[in-house]
C-alpha cells in the first residue's frame, strides 16, 4: 500500500479517505465501534455548526488533549531497548536470586539510558551523568538495578538530593540554562558542598560526554547486599562493562553534535539494534564481607566513594544483550518505572543513607507521574513469568480481573486465596541495629578529596587536560566571581597543582582563598595513588 500512487478516494468536498480493505483492518473508536468517516465532523447542514453528539470528534480530541504526562523530575530525557541477561558465572552460594545464581539462566530485560539534568527535549550529548537503568523480569519478580555511568555520586545523604537537583535544573526565575553545569546555581551549590568534589572530577572528565550509550560503563553505585540460602550476607558493588570498550567524544565535538543532531545517542542505539549490531555489556560484581569492609579507610556506605578494583577485583558473572527496539516509545520508554525498591529474594539493601532515600522516592514520584497505585500493571512494568497475587484492590486504572469475595487475610472462605511463603519469600538481612536517634553524618564519611585525586591521577595526560579545560570552560560561564574562587579553593584540597592550572585559566592566580577542610587520619586499606577504575 505504501507504494500505491493512489491509496485513497476523494470525498464530497475534495478531502481524502483511506478505507479498510486488503491488509488494512477497520479503524475503531475506544469501544470497538467501527468508524465510517475520520475526515469530517458531524454538522447540521453542509456549512452548519458542528454537533456535540459527534462522539468520535470528542473522543479523538479529548484523548489528544491528555496525551502528555509529566516528564520525569530528573532523567527526563532517555531512550530504552529490550534484551536479555544471561548468567555466565553463577553466584551459587552467594546469592539465592535465580537471576544471578542459576547457570545459564536467561532473564528478559528492559533498559533505559538517560541524561539527568536536561528536560525531555534537550540534547543527548550534554555534559552530564548518564542513567543506566535495568529492569530484570526475573521468574522471582522484578529486580531493578537503577544505576549511572559514573561509579560515585554528588551527595552522601538523600536529604540533599532536592538541593542538588534544584541547583542543576533550569534556574526558577528564568527557566534556563537546561545544562547540567555551566550555570551559577549548580556551581554555587557544588562549591559549598565538599562531598561533591569526587563526582565533580568525573563530571568534568570525558566520562560525562560518552560517544554512545553502547560505549558506556554502568554502576549500581551503592553497596548492596547479596544473601544466600542460609541468610549469609556478602556486600556487592555492581558494574556494567561495555563490550565495545569505553569511548567518549571531546568537548568540541559534543558542542557540534548537539547543534547538528540532538538525537545523536538515541539514533545510534536505535540504528545499531535495527541493523543487528546488538550492544552488549558484561555484568561484574565486587564482593567482600563485613570484616573486609571495616579495613577500608572510607565507608562502604558512602556513595561518594568507589571500591578500588585493584583491591577488590571485578568478577564477571553475566552478559546483557540489547536485541530489540521498542514498539512504542511512549508505552514502553516513557511509562517504564524503575524503582530502587524492586528487589528479589537474595538481593538486599544496606544502610547507605542515599540508597535509603531512593527506596522511597521512586515509587512516590511514579504514583503521580503514572497516575496512581496501579502503574506496575502497565505492560512494560508488569512481571513476566511469575504471577502477581495479593489482597491489594481497586484504585485508578485497575487492570487486574481479581476474582472472588475474599480480599483480606487471614481468611477461610475460598480454597485458592494467595498465602505467604516464608521459604520462597523475600527476607531482609537481620542486621543488628542500635544507637541514639541523631541527625548526624558519620565521621567515616569525612574524606572528600583523596579519591578525587586518585581519579585524576588515573587519567592519561590528554584526559587530565580535558578535565582542567572543562573546569575552566564551565566556571568561565559562572557570573559570580566568589563562586569561581570557591570551586578553585576546593580543588586546592584535591591538589594545589590542579587548582593552579584552573585558576590560571580563569585569570585568578594568587586570588584564591583556602577552603577549610577536616583532616582525616588514614589508617585503613588504601588504593595506590593511581586508582585502577578504568573499563577493560
- Active site amino acids: 75, 148
Helices (H), 211-347: 251-260, 264-274, 290-293
Min. distance of Cβ 175 from ligand HEM in angstroms? 20
Torsion of CA 253, 117, 74, 85, to 10 degrees: 30
Contact residue for ligand HEM among 19, 119, 228, 365 (CB under 6 A): 365
Q: Distance between CA 316 and CA 102 in Å, rounded? A: 14
Contact residue for ligand HEM among 83, 147, 242, 308 (CB under 6 A): 147
**Residue 439 in 3-state DSSP?**
coil
Q: What is the 3-state secondary structure (H, E, C) of 505-528?
A: HCCCCCCCCCCCCCCCCCCCECCC
Min. distance of Cβ 37 from ligand HEM in angstroms? 40
Min. distance of Cβ 522 from ligand HEM in angstroms? 25
Q: Distance between CA 405 and CA 393 in Å, rounded? A: 12
Question: Does residue 110 touch ligand HEM according to CB under 6 A?
Answer: no
In the DSSP assignment, the letter for residue 329 is I
Strand 78-87 with 280-288, pairing: unpaired
Question: Does residue 369 touch ligand HEM according to CB under 6 A?
Answer: yes
Tell me, residue by residue from 406 to 445, as one string, x for binding to ligand HEM by CB under 6 A and - for no binding.
Answer: ----------------------------------------
Question: Does residue 307 touch ligand HEM according to CB under 6 A?
Answer: no
Q: What is the CA radius of gyration of the chain?
A: 27
Contact residue for ligand HEM among 183, 237, 358, 484 (CB under 6 A): 358
Min. distance of Cβ 358 from ligand HEM in angstroms? 5
Which of 322, 502 has the CB closer to ligand HEM? 322
Helical pair 481-494 and 496-505, crossing angle rounded to 10 deg: 150
Question: Does residue 357 touch ligand HEM according to CB under 6 A?
Answer: yes
Min. distance of Cβ 124 from ligand HEM in angstroms? 14
Strand 280-288 with 233-242, pairing: antiparallel
Q: Distance between CA 425 and CA 484 in Å, rounded? A: 53
**Residue 473 in 3-state DSSP?**
helix
Question: Does residue 180 touch ligand HEM according to CB under 6 A?
Answer: no
Question: Does residue 168 touch ligand HEM according to CB under 6 A?
Answer: no
> Is residue 358 left, alpha or beta, with left meaning phi > 0 and alpha meaning psi from -120 to 50?
alpha
Question: Does residue 73 touch ligand HEM according to CB under 6 A?
Answer: yes
CA atoms within 13 A on the CB side of 302: 23
Q: What is the largest CA-CA distance in the chain?
A: 89
> Is residue 319 left, alpha or beta, with left meaning phi > 0 and alpha meaning psi from -120 to 50?
beta
Backbone phi and psi for residue 83, each to the nearest 5 degrees, phi listed first:
180, -150
Question: Does residue 72 touch ligand HEM according to CB under 6 A?
Answer: yes
Binding region for ligand HEM (CB under 6 A) out of 52-60, 118-126, 255-263, 365-373:
365-373
Which of 19, 365 has the CB closer to ligand HEM? 365
Which of 306, 336 has the CB closer to ligand HEM? 336
Q: Strand pairing partners for 80?
A: 112
Binding region for ligand HEM (CB under 6 A) out of 46-54, 202-210, 355-363, 427-435:
355-363
Question: Does residue 203 touch ligand HEM according to CB under 6 A?
Answer: no
Min. distance of Cβ 362 from ligand HEM in angstroms? 5
Question: Does residue 158 touch ligand HEM according to CB under 6 A?
Answer: yes
Contact residue for ligand HEM among 156, 223, 342, 366 (CB under 6 A): 366
In the DSSP assignment, the letter for residue 449 is S
Which of 151, 503 has the CB closer to ligand HEM? 151
Torsion of CA 338, 341, 342, 344, to 10 degrees: 160
Contact residue for ligand HEM among 41, 361, 417, 469 (CB under 6 A): 361
Min. distance of Cβ 339 from ligand HEM in angstroms? 8
Which of 135, 486 has the CB closer to ligand HEM? 135
Q: Strand pairing partners for 238?
A: 285
Length of the chain: 536
Which of 69, 481 has the CB closer to ligand HEM? 69
Min. distance of Cβ 367 from ligand HEM in angstroms? 10
Identify residues 257-286 at the interface with ligand HEM (CB under 6 A): none
Question: Does residue 383 touch ligand HEM according to CB under 6 A?
Answer: no
* In the block, residue with C-alpha cell 516528564: 71
Can you read off the three cell numbers belonging to residue 417?
A: 486465596
Q: Distance between CA 503 and CA 496 in Å, rounded? A: 10
Tell me, residue by residue from 208 to 227, as one string, x for binding to ligand HEM by CB under 6 A and - for no binding.
Answer: -------------x------
Contact residue for ligand HEM among 190, 215, 236, 337 (CB under 6 A): 337
Which of 153, 189 has the CB closer to ligand HEM? 153
Binding region for ligand HEM (CB under 6 A) out of 145-153, 280-288, 452-460, 518-526:
145-153
Min. distance of Cβ 147 from ligand HEM in angstroms? 5
Q: Which of 132, 88, 131, 83 is nearest to 110 (CA)?
A: 83
Q: Distance between CA 192 and CA 180 in Å, rounded? A: 17
Question: Does residue 112 touch ligand HEM according to CB under 6 A?
Answer: yes
| Positions in the binding site for ligand HEM (CB under 6 A) | 72-75, 78, 112, 114, 131, 133, 146-148, 153, 158, 161, 221, 303, 336-338, 354, 357-358, 361-362, 365-366, 369
Amino acid at each position: 500500500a505504501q507504494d500505491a500512487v493512489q491509496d485513497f478516494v476523494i470525498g464530497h468536498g475534495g478531502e481524502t479517505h483511506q478505507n479498510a480493505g486488503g491488509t488494512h483492518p477497520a479503524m475503531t473508536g475506544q469501544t470497538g465501534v467501527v468508524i465510517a468517516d475520520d475526515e469530517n465532523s458531524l454538522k447540521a447542514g453542509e456549512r452548519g455548526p458542528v454537533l456535540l453528539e459527534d462522539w468520535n470528534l470528542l473522543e479523538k480530541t479529548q484523548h489528544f488533549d491528555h496525551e502528555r504526562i509529566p516528564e520525569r523530575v530528573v532523567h527526563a530525557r532517555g531512550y530504552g531497548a529490550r534484551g536479555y541477561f544471561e548468567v555466565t558465572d553463577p553466584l551459587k552460594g552467594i546469592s539465592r536470586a535465580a537471576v544471578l545464581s542459576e547457570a545459564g539462566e536467561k532473564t528478559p530485560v528492559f533498559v533505559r539510558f538517560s541524561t539527568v539534568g536536561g528536560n525531555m527535549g534537550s540534547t543527548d550529548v550534554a555534559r552530564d551523568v548518564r542513567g543506566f537503568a535495568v529492569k530484570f523480569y526475573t521468574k522471582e519478580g522484578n529486580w531493578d538495578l537503577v544505576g549511572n555511568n559514573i561509579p560515585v555520586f554528588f551527595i552522601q545523604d538523600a536529604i540533599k538530593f532536592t538541593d542538588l537537583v534544584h541547583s542543576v535544573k533550569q534556574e526558577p526565575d528564568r527557566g534556563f540554562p537546561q545544562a547540567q553545569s555551566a550555570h551559577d546555581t549548580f556551581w554555587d551549590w557544588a562549591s559549598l558542598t565538599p562531598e561533591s568534589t569526587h563526582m565533580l572530577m568525573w563530571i568534568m572528565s570525558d566520562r560525562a560526554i560518552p560517544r554512545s550509550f553502547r560505549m558506556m560503563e554502568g554502576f549500581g553505585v551503592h553497596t548492596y547486599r547479596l544473601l544466600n540460602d542460609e541468610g549469609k550476607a556478602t556486600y556487592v558493588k555492581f558494574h556494567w562493562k561495555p563490550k565495545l570498550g569505553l569511548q567518549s567524544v571531546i568537548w568540541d565535538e559534543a558542542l557540534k553534535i548537539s547543534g547538528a543532531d540532538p538525537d545523536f545517542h538515541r539514533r545510534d542505539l536505535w540504528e545499531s539494534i535495527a541493523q543487528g549490531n546488538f550492544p552488549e555489556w558484561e555484568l561484574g560484581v565486587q564482593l567482600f564481607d563485613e570484616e573486609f569492609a571495616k579495613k577500608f579507610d572510607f565507608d562502604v556506605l558512602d556513595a561518594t566513594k568507589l571500591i578500588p578494583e585493584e583491591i577488590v577485583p571485578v568478577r564477571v558473572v553475566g552478559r546483557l544483550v540489547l536485541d530489540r527496539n521498542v514498539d512504542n516509545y511512549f508505552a514502553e520508554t516513557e511509562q517504564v518505572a524503575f524503582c530502587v525498591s524492586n528487589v528479589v529474594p537474595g538481593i538486599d539493601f544496606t544502610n547507605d543513607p542515599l540508597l535509603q532515600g531512593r527506596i522511597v522516592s521512586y515509587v512516590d514520584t511514579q504514583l503521580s507521574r503514572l497516575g496512581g497505585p496501579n502503574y506496575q500493571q502497565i505492560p512494560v512494568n508488569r512481571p513476566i513469568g511469575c504471577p502477581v497475587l495479593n489482597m491489594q484492590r481497586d484504585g485508578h486504572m485497575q487492570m487486574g480481573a481479581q476474582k472472588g469475595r475474599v480480599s483480606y487475610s487471614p481468611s477461610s472462605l475460598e480454597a485458592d486465596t494467595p498465602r505467604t511463603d516464608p521459604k520462597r519469600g523475600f527476607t531482609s538481612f537481620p542486621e543488628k541495629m542500635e544507637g541514639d536517634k541523631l541527625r548526624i553524618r558519620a565521621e567515616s564519611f569525612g574524606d572528600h578529596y583523596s579519591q578525587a585525586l586518585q581519579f585524576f591521577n588515573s587519567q592519561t595526560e590528554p584526559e587530565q587536560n580535558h578535565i582542567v579545560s572543562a573546569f575552566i570552560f564551565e566556571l568561565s560561564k559562572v557570573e559570580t566571581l566568589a563562586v569561581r574562587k570557591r570551586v578553585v579553593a576546593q580543588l586546592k584540597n584535591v591538589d594545589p597543582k590542579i587548582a593552579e592550572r584552573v585558576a590560571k585559566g580563569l585569570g585568578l592566580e594568587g586570588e584564591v582563598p583556602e577552603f577549610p577542610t577536616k583532616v582525616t587520619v588514614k589508617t585503613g586499606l588504601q588504593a595506590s595513588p593511581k586508582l585502577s577504575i578504568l573499563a577493560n
